[in-house]
């Protein structure tokens, strides 16, 4: 089955270190993938490669069956949304104006956003609990509020492939759960697919139905969450003893 986003025999390297070797996987509609691995293993580098922001050492990244590198940037931006770890706001803008950035790939060059575009941005702000912030300057937001605004921009963009680098970074527990539930609903309802780098194994286990584990030295393991997440794999992944408990029928992994 062809995926929305595929990698075939992908090799990714950075600074002489192998992130993955001969990686083959397909991300299909309704799937939520989590990338897990120790610090410095290359999770962000892999995500940037999948987004077409850096070249692979070998292999191919395909979007809808076509080489990602051959896809025009504007067309790619309509299909693929990327969340970075850090957000740079060099120019003063309101929260609503920042959310509307997500509509840029859909708006004709030199044209203004329509009322429908503004309505989409307002709905996105409401979805991330920033309604009432529209006229606020983006520079007045806390780190967590700015992270939620970045998610709102992606909701406004409405991509079919979501590539998210630490999406729950800076968020308190309530907003972590709210955001991951939102992504879960969005991918299920729209048939989109998402891949996110995470540090919280239990959040990944709860909200992602597929996993990609990066062990280092190019070695990877991927598949369904219930098949890939195990005490043995996690101990090998993080180099630390792990215990698994059952809480209300859900597996919970804890450091021993």
- In tens, the pLDDT along 204-220 reads 999 999 999 999 999 99
Residue 177: C-alpha distances to residues 21, 94, 156, 201 (Å):
33, 26, 20, 14
Over residues 125-136, the pLDDT tens digits come to 999 999 999 999
Over residues 49-101, the pLDDT tens digits come to 999 999 999 999 999 999 999 999 999 999 999 999 888 887 789 999 999 99
Over residues 1-35, the pLDDT tens digits come to 456 999 999 999 999 999 999 999 999 999 999 99
Residue 154: name the closest of 111, 199, 190 by CA. 190
Q: Which runs of E-coded beta strand occur in 111-192?
A: 161-165
Q: Compute the average pLDDT of residues 43-47.
A: 97
Are 18 and 59 in contact by the 8 Å Cβ rule? The answer is no
Distance CA 85, CA 246 (A): 32
Distance CA 148, CA 124 (A): 10
Are 92 and 139 in contact by the 8 Å Cβ rule? The answer is yes
> What is the topology classification, in CATH, of domain 5-255?
Rossmann fold (3.40.50)
- State the number of CA atoms in the 13 A half-sphere of 170 facing the CB: 17
Question: How sure is the predictor about 198, in pLDDT bands with cuts at 50, 70 and 90?
Answer: very high
Widest Cα–Cα separation across the chain: 57
pTM of the model: 0.95
Burial 187-222 (b: 16+ CB within 10 A, else e): beeeebbbbbbbebbebbbbbbbbbbbbbbebebeb
Are 81 and 53 in contact by the 8 Å Cβ rule? The answer is no
* Residues linked to residue 20 through DSSP beta bridges, in sequence order: 12
How high is the pLDDT of residue 88?
Answer: 80
Distance CA 210, CA 254 (A): 20
Given a cut of 90, is residue 111 above it in pLDDT?
Answer: no
């Amino acid at each position: 089955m062809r995926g929305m986003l595929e990698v075939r025999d992908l090799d990714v390297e950075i600074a002489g270190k192998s992130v993955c070797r001969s990686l083959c996987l397909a991300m299909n509609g309704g799937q939520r993938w989590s990338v897990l691995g120790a610090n410095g293993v290359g999770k962000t580098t892999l995500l940037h490669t999948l987004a077409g922001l850096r070249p692979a050492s070998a292999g191919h990244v395909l979007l809808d069956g076509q080489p990602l590198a051959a896809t025009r940037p504007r067309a790619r931006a309509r299909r693929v949304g990327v969340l970075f770890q850090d957000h740079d706001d060099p120019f003063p803008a309101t929260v609503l104006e920042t959310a509307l950035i997500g509509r840029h790939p859909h708006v004709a060059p030199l044209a203004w956003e329509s009322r429908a575009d503004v309505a989409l941005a307002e709905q996105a702000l409401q979805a991330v609990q920033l309604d009432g912030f529209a006229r606020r300057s983006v520079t007045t937001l806390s780190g967590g509020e700015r992270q939620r605004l970045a998610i709102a921009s992606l909701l406004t963009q409405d991509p079919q492939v979501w590539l998210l680098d630490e999406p729950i970074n800076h968020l308190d527990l309530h907003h972590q759960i709210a955001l991951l539930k939102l992504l879960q609903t969005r991918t299920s309802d729209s048939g989109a697919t998402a891949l996110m780098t995470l540090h919280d194994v239990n959040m990944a286990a709860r909200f992602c139905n597929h996993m990609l584990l990066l062990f280092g030295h190019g070695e990877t393991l991927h598949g369904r969450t219930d098949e890939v997440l195990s005490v043995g794999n996690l101990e090998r992944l993080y180099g630390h003893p792990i215990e698994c408990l059952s809480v209300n029928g859900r597996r919970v992994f804890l450091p021993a």
